[in-house]
Amino acid sequence: MLLLDVHTRAFRNLADQTVALSPHTTVLFGPNGQGKTNFLEACYLLCTLRPLRAQKLVELVRLGTNDSAQITGRFDLPGGVRNVDVEVGREGRLARLDGKPIRDPQDLFGGLATVAFTPDDLAVVKEGPDGRRRLLDRAVLNRHPSHLSDARDYLRALRSRNHLLRQRAAPDLLASFDEPLSIVGARIRQRRAEVLSEITPHARRAFTEVARGEAGLGLDLTAADASEQALRRSLEDRLRRDTERGFTSVGPHADDVTVLIGDKPARLYASQGQSRAVVLAFKIGEIENLREKQGRSPLLLLDDVSSELDPERNGYLMSYLAALEGQVVLTTTDRDLVARSAAENALFQRVSEGRIAPEK
């Protein structure tokens, strides 16, 4: 799979333009605030139908524009060139594949695997469980595009149950949501556990390379039991407590990924450098797992990550990118952070006030 070019209209601060991408590495460079991250957001939205950083789709529409924003991408696939079009606005999102409406990523040729790596990711080891769940769920979505539909169904049932808990509804009414929460929740947990187990061996090897001399990396999902029956029992057992507190305290929405360096929890004991090495290893583990399971590299999007890594770890990342047989789009404020090996065959594009153009 190759993303050939991206056309944007009224998308954040980007000019209305078509940007061609290299089949190898495209380097977008320029000062902060010019639109580099916004372009990565457009690429990510085309492949996953979800925003990379925005909390609401309407945030993607250019300020001062009362209309909608539109992104169109051309993809080179074994069956030929296909067009994906995504329009976002106050009414939500409308996505089309070759002009025909689609709803979920699995409708995009079975899903367009895309791995994004942003500075925000580098902080997830030390922060709360939400970021670690998102990190894992993005990896799950690449392997199982139907995960998005299940996540939506689960969130819908969870919100309804929480509303009833706050209303002190009757137990039998609350129990009517135990079935959808346990059925869908079990599928979510099972996929998370499966994908994490696939990624872990690759991530361990990468961590050994990038953090030489450190103790080994351990990754584990905190969910005690992924079965539907166990989740339903937990919901029943915690009903009184949940009613008192007004929210559902157990389920995939409360899970966490435990990160260990040796036998110590990374959240409590890892240095900043170790934490960043963990996330770098996880991302490389995800890429390697997709290559192994799908037979091809995903589209890799890196947002100014090199400036956040120390020289040794950035050097490892650049060496990895140079050897990667896949398409990469990366941003940087400093061209010198992109090693010569990774820049070979790269297309450099300058970003200035939302306009993206090849460097002359």
- The reported pLDDT for the residue numbered 90 is 83
Domain 1-113+296-360 maps to which CATH number in 3.90.950.10, 3.40.50.300, 3.90.1150.10, 3.40.50.970? Answer: 3.40.50.300
List, for residues 207-263, the tens digit of each pLDDT value. 999 887 788 999 999 875 678 999 999 999 999 999 999 999 999 999 999 999 999
Domain 119-294 maps to which CATH number in 2.40.50.140, 3.40.50.620, 1.10.1200.10, 1.20.1050.90? Answer: 1.20.1050.90
Triad 37, 43, 44: Cα angle to 5°: 90
- The reported pLDDT for the residue numbered 214 is 81
One-character DSSP codes across 71-128: EEEEEEETTEEEEEEEEEETTEEEEEETTEEE-SGGGTTT---EEEE-GGGGGTTTS-
pLDDT at 108 over 90: no
List, for residues 174-186, the tens digit of each pLDDT value. 889 999 999 999 9
- Residue among 255, 61, 67, 98 nearest 51 (CA): 61
List, for residues 110-156, the tens digit of each pLDDT value. 768 999 999 889 899 999 999 999 999 999 999 998 898 999 999 99
- Residue among 346, 253, 300, 354 nearest 121 (CA): 300
- The reported pLDDT for the residue numbered 35 is 95
Query: Which residue stretches of the chain are H helix?
Result: 36-48, 129-143, 147-166, 171-175, 178-210, 228-237, 239-245, 266-269, 272-294, 311-323, 340-343
- Using CA atoms, how far apart are residues 44 and 30, in angstroms rounded to an integer? 20
- The reported pLDDT for the residue numbered 46 is 93
CATH 3.40.50.300 domain locations along the chain: 1-113+296-360
Residue for token digits 């939400």?
130
The sign one gets for the Cα dihedral 114, 46, 73, 121 is negative
Average pLDDT, whole number, for the chain?
Answer: 91
- Residue 11: exposed, middle, or buried by beta-carbon count in 10 A (0-12, 13-18, 19+)? buried
Among the residue ranges 119-133, 309-323, 333-347, the one predicted with the least confidence is 333-347
Contact 200, 219 (CB under 8 A): yes
pTM: 0.90
- The reported pLDDT for the residue numbered 32 is 93
CATH 1.20.1050.90 domain locations along the chain: 119-294
List, for residues 155-208, the tens digit of each pLDDT value. 999 999 999 999 999 988 988 999 999 999 999 999 999 999 999 999 999 999
The letter for the amino acid at 118 is T
Q: Per-residue pLDDT averaged across 97-111, rounded?
A: 83
